[in-house]
Structure 1
Amino acid sequence: MNWDNDDPAVRWAKTERAVIGVTDEGTGQAVWKFYRIYLPVGVAVLLAAGFVVGLWIYGNDPDERVAQVGVGLFFAALGALVGSMVYSAKRVTPLVRPKHAGGLIWLEKPERKALMDQIEGKKQTIPGQVPVLRGAAALVRKGLAPTLLMFPGFMLLYVSQLLTTFSDGWTWFQWLWCALIPFMAALFVVTLRQFRRAGDFLARTGTAQEDSF
């Protein structure tokens, strides 16, 4: 984005000042810890609590078991979404230091793509650009981490909506949720791949305190 109509050298100089020195001090480990500990424990507790609420709403009717599970998943989804936002703000975002925001906004789209191609290993790394690339990779991971944390909540929400309306028969509403679930799964894979490639770049271009996750 060229707000000031300046030339490439000026844009690059602004980007250097914004991103050189930005470090990732463990976002991958923090994201993995969320998936390994906090998410399963939280989902288990809220799923059980929601199932009890489902029993209260639908009664102890075997024909409504699917809907009752759907209520449990809805509680788990809300908990996962709220928990992921809090966890991201408190435990993940502060790990990218210092707190620069939008360090790549000075670059035009082709220039940003050229940087990302180097970070993702699609093009050979230009040695003189490594400090900028490392800062950019840290910012990329900072931007992607909250999305990775929120994916499980959205998936649980979609499945819960599908199950709670299951007894109503198949309508366009159910087909909508069925379409969203694989779409979100594919989006998760793409986001995770970008996150990990940025981590791999940091690991191979410096003394990384960060694992490659």
Structure 2
Amino acid sequence: MAESADRWVRAERRADGVADKGLGKALKAYFTVYLPIGVVLLFAIGAGLAIVLFRDDWASPASYLSSGLGLAALGVLVGGLAYNWKVLGTAVDMSKIEVTGPLNDAEKKAVRREILGTVTTDPTHLRVKRAAAVQLRKALATQLLIAPVMVCVLLQQVSNPRNPFWWLAAAFGALYLFGMAFLARDFRRAGQFLGKTK
């Protein structure tokens, strides 16, 4: 029992100063404004360059589509990393050390289950749990920012008539979108946990 109390005390120290300062709003702005505008703009530039540069066998709508999606994927990667660093990084006060690090595996799993709403919230050690929720939301937000890169790459593969395995890319894309939905769900649930434990 004393060992458990000591672990929680160390976790409480790590939780100092960890706070969400608008992570949800920043992520929403990215997906509703910056990402759509960036993808459309980069796709148009990539397809336009392909129309100008490609000749003979390469001069086809499929090549233009592939070039547009390729440039969009590159832009989403660079833009997502920059947005993560400049915007999401300032939308949260984070400790560089994992808050739940001192806890044992069973305690970490229990904290995560509470954050994701699969069990009833225990009001003890709430500061540690809230800080862990902030860290989880930041990690999920980073994954969600980068996820559209793979969507662009898979669309590029599906739209390529020379690719005999387009159907495999389509199947993987469906599974990938399913996985993205789970990331978004967990991000929302962690936000709900923060909201109800204020």
- Normalised TM-score (structure 1): 0.84
Match among 70, 75, 92 for residue 79 of structure 1: 75
Percent identity (aligned): 32
Task: Report the aligned-residue RMSD.
Answer: 2.2
2:102 equivalent to 1:106: yes
Within the candidate set 139, 144, 150, 1:143 is matched to 139
SS of residue in 2 equivalent to 1:51 = helix
1:116 CA drift (Å): 1.1
Tell me if structure 1 keeps the 8 A contact 2:51–2:59.
no
Find the aligned partners of 1:140 and 1:102 in 2 and give their Cα distance: 10
1:137 Cα deviation after fit: 0.7
CA distance in 2, matches of 1:74, 1:122: 39
1:103 partner SS = coil
Moved more, 88-97 or 61-70: 61-70
Q: Pick from 170, 176, 179 the counterpart of residue 178 of structure 1.
A: 170
List gaps (5 residues or longer) in structure 1.
Answer: 1-5, 207-213
> 8 Å contact 1:148–1:191 — kept in the other structure?
yes
When structure 1 is superposed on structure 2, of 6-15 and 123-132 the one drifting more is 6-15
Shift of 1:81: 1.0
Equivalent in the alignment of 1:205: 197
Which runs of at least 4 in structure 1 moved beyond 4 Å after TM superposition?
60-63
Equivalence map 1:179-194=2 (5 Å) = 179-194=171-186
Structure 2 distance, partners of 1:60, 1:32, is 43
Is 1:27 the counterpart of 2:2 in the alignment? no
- Aligned residue number for residue 162 of structure 2: 168
The answer to whether the Cα contact below 8 Å between 2:8 and 2:125 also exists between their aligned partners in 1 is: no
Whole-angstrom distance in 1 between the partners of 2:163 and 2:197: 55
Counterpart residue identity of residue 29, structure 2: K
Structure 2 gaps of 5+ residues are none
Q: Distance in 2 between matches of 1:98 and 1:147?
A: 17
Aligned length: 197
CA contact (8 A) 2:15 2:99 kept: yes
